[in-house]
A and B are shown apart, each in its own frame.
Chain A
Amino acid sequence: MTTVEEVPYSPIASSRLGEWAARNGPVLGVFAALFVLWEIAVGALHIPNYILPSPLVIADKIVVSWQLLLLNAFVTLQEILFGFALSVIIAIPLAIAVVYSRIFERVAFPFMVSLQTIPKVALAPILVIWLGYGIMPKVMVAFLISFFPIVINSVIGMRSAEREMIYLVQSMGASELTTFLKIRLPKALPSIFGGLKVGIGQAVVGATVGEFIAAENGLGYLQLISQVRLDTPLLFAAVVVLSLLGVLLFNTVAWIERLALPWSRLATEVAE
């Protein structure tokens, strides 16, 4: 058997560390330069700490108040995770219903899409009235705001299987359940993970905004208190921790995606 023309693409292979440095080096460099510039400018222009603390002052604040920050971060993390989990648990079955049921497709889905235009954070004060000062209103805001990207991406993903692909397995005598499990769901996974990655970021926003409205602890609450006390370094410290939380959560989802879909990364790498 001769193959005339084909040379297989070989997957990109190189040292992981080198690749990481090459990819992230420029970005890290820009950040480092920015911080140095910031540090020098604050010193040279005698900007007071309550207006703009220097990076070193913020770092010092984080070290000194790490317990306070950690305690509040834990509260916010809980709200984010509960809200996000609720989103996933409701959004994915709902997406399946939209793909398989005409009623859901014709009525529920357009209804949801139009609901999406409501700014979810604007609902936060109402949720406080309904659900009180505890963790629930923040969980609900995090849920509401992270829900839509997940459901919409899941629906798009489950609809993305080509018609021929469905015909193919039907010609093999596959049941609807088999078609879903072997074709539609795996085909949808990259898109679903896209939605999850947007959703987890949104959940962080939702939980924080929820805490702005009414809370007794959490990083958003800590920011409010710092603002009232003009403790700007602590305010910045909370921002840093919040960002780290967001990055950590996003990368966790991305990491699970890479583990679950090794073929997906391969497809994009070769496409590049």
Chain B
Amino acid sequence: MKQQASSGGPENSSCAGVPIRLRGVTKRYRAARGGEVHALSEIDLSIEAGEFVSIVGPSGCGKSTLLMLVSGLIPPTAGAIEVDARAVKGAIANVAVVFQRDVLLDWRTVLANVLLPVEIKKLDSASHRRKARELLRSVGLGEFEEKYPAELSGGMRQRVAICRALVQDPGLLLMDEPFGALDALTREQMNLDLQRMWLRDRNTVLFITHSIEEAVLLSDRVVVMSSRPGSVADIVRNDLPRPRGAHTRSEPRFLEHVERIRGHFLALGVLSET
């Protein structure tokens, strides 16, 4: 199952993201009390290597399901998923996941938490330890290596979770509302941090969010999904120059993109002005 060659260590892997292709991906769940839930319907989506793509959509439109499908943790009912030109069958090696909850392990120190994937994937310990320290330093947590998660604030914990994802040099980073539980100010800072790290590493990122502004700010393309069964309603391309920041939010084109996406939600009845 380990497709990623871990030879050479993390230093010289200039971390090229991997492309993703979804063709006619459909997912139906058996509901707890009989019947079926049609979560996703006929999703077609191609994501280039190193592209940052956000998915926005109403609650329950199958965004998270889509993420689980791409990670290979659950199989699609129909359709095909390819990551790095290989069909996804079961958990794939060069993917990292970040959830809304940081799910740090309380019994491990910050550094040991970041090194969890290194242990599980049995990667080279010394070089990744160096890389983990570097990552923690780069998000301002250098002095917290030996602290336990209980001693950190919510924003700091989520930063640790992101470091834990990035230490593996994932070709694909799947993020399921990673900043949804943070306050607005922390969230803005985390957006900038994430952008900086992505500009450095250029992994492919599939980013789920409820915030239209956040999606537009970070993404090359924003995928707008319709209500259940989830399908692609629109794809908004955003070519605004990077690095983007507070100044971007007031640019006319930024506002145009946001308005266009909001328009979809109004049309879908997810947002209502009356």
A and B associate in one complex? yes
- Which residues from chain A sit less than 8 Å from chain B, CB to CB? 1-11, 162, 164-165, 167-174, 178, 182-183, 186-187, 189, 261, 263-264, 266-267, 270-271
Q: Shortest distance in angstroms between A30's beta carbon and chain B's nearest beta carbon?
A: 33
Q: How far is the CB of A172 from chain B (nearest CB, A)?
A: 4
Contacts of B150 in A (CB 8 A): 263, 266-267, 270-271
B147 touches A8 (CB 8 A): yes
Q: How far is the CA of A172 from the CA of B151 in the complex (A)?
A: 26
> Are A1's CB and B140's CB within 8 A?
yes
Report which B residues bind A (CB closer than 8 A). 1-2, 68, 71-73, 91, 93, 95-97, 99, 101, 103, 105-108, 116-117, 119-121, 137-140, 144, 147-148, 150-153, 155-156, 168, 183, 185-186, 189, 193
Alpha-carbon gap, A168 to B103, bound state (A): 8
Q: Which of A1, A165, A266 has the most CB of B within 10 A?
A: A1
Q: A8-B152, A173-B93 are in contact. Are A267 and B185 (CB under 8 A)?
A: no
In the bound complex, CA of A6 to CA of B156 (Å): 8
Measured CB to CB, the nearest residue on chain A to B138 is A1
Question: In the assembly, what is the distance between CA of A3 and CA of B190, in Å?
Answer: 9
Taking CB as reference atom, which chain A residue is nearest B174?
Answer: A171
- Residues of A near B1 (CB, < 8 A) are 173
Q: Within 8 Å CB of B193, what residues of A?
A: 1
**How far is it, in angstroms, between the C-alpha of A182 and the C-alpha of B119 when the chains are bound?**
10
Flag if A183 contacts B105 (CB, 8 Å): yes
- Residues of the B chain whose Cβ atoms lie less than 8 Å from the Cβ of A5: 153, 155, 183, 185-186
Shortest distance between the CB of B204 and any CB in chain A (Å): 15
- Complex interface: chain B residues within 8 A of A270 (CB): 150-151
- Residues in chain A near residue B151, CB distance under 8 A: 8-11, 266, 270
Say yes or no: B189 contacts A171, CB within 8 Å: no
Which residues from B are CB-within-8-Å of A174? 120
Seed contacts A165-B105, A187-B106; 7 additional CB < 8 Å A-B pairs: A1-B193, A3-B156, A6-B153, A167-B97, A169-B120, A172-B121, A264-B107
A8-B151, A267-B148 known; A173 and B120 CB under 8 Å? yes
* Beta-carbon contact of B117 and A172 below 8 Å: yes
Q: CB distance B140 to A162 under 8 Å? A: no
B96-A171 in contact (CB<8A): yes
Tell me which of B91, B120, B138, B193 has the highest count of chain A C-beta atoms within 10 A of its own C-beta: B120
A178–B155 CA distance with the chains assembled, in angstroms: 28
Q: Assuming A164-B103, A168-B103, A270-B151, is B144 touching A8 (CB within 8 A)?
A: yes
Set B2, B116, B148: member contacting A182, Cβ < 8 A = B116
Q: Give Cα distance in the complex from A171 to B4, angstroms.
A: 13
In the assembly, what is the distance between CA of A227 and CA of B60, in Å? 70
Partner of B101 from the list A1, A11, A164 (CB cut-off 8 Å) is: A164
User: Can you name 13 A-B pairs with beta carbons within 8 Å?
Assistant: A1-B138, A2-B189, A6-B153, A167-B73, A170-B91, A171-B96, A171-B97, A173-B120, A182-B119, A187-B105, A187-B106, A266-B150, A271-B150
Chain B: minimal CB distance from A107 (Å): 21
